[in-house]
Amino acid sequence: MIKVAPSILAADPINLERDVRRAAEAGCDWLHVDVMDAHFVPNLAYTPDIVRRLKQTFDVPLDVHLMMDHPEILADAFLDAGADILTIHAEIDADIPALLEKIRRHGAHPGIALKPGTPLDAVNAYRDMADLILTMTVEPGFGGQKLDENVIGKMKALRDSGYTGYIEADGGLREDNLQILIDAGLTAAVMGTALFRNEDMPGAIERIHRMNRAG
């Protein structure tokens, strides 16, 4: 069954608890929390305190995506706050194996992410250390963008290579384009506006849960 991870970046920031509760009660599998440092991507969002309060308030696993030049600075803080999945980027200049190992030692699932233009080869050295590989389907930083279909081939190549962890996509995902991603190997869907602006979020999540890979 496809994991559905509503991105809280698309929630109303003034009514964040209300919107997240709506997603939790609609049957989502994870809550996706984008962390942005205004350097790695041109936006700024979310702190360990937000993750801590989400963990205290909702019984839904937290899928935390660190879009940061130096995630090693705050990795411990996000892990201590309650991140269940912690994803870092392959493009950073850091000791990626050490970070992935730290995440696992803490009891969380390590993930590695790729921007749309980054070749799949960039994760080859880390794939056996990661429980999740996030293929960004838009340039990270802002919600509401259109899905870059060039990433679909990257997802298919990853699955065909024998990778058995979660293949996650984030950016421009909607009910009407999910099937082609699932057929390429998608197993976890990050969705923002497509869910939070949907008046029938429970129905949307139920329909996505029923989607299966062709063949």
Q: Is 59 a catalytic residue?
A: no
Task: Identify residue 179 by its one-letter amino acid code.
Answer: Q
Q: From the candidates 19, 29, 63, 170, which is the catalytic residue?
A: 170
Q: Tell me how far apart the alpha carbons of residues 105 and 113 are, in angstroms, rounded to a whole number.
A: 19
Q: Tell me how far apart the alpha carbons of residues 134 and 102 are, in angstroms, rounded to a whole number.
A: 19
| Total residues found in the chain within this entry | 215
Q: Is 19 a catalytic residue?
A: no
Q: From the candidates 34, 76, 84, 128, which is the catalytic residue?
A: 34
CA 208 to chain centroid: 16
Query: Which H, E and C letters describe 70-127, residue by residue?
Result: CHHHCHHHHHHHCCCEEEEECCCCCCHHHHHHHHHHCCCEEEEEECCCCCHHHHCCCH
**Helix (H, G, I), strand (E, B), or coil: what is residue 32?**
strand
Q: Tell me how far apart the alpha carbons of residues 115 and 123 are, in angstroms, rounded to a whole number.
A: 11
| Active-site annotation, residues | 34, 170
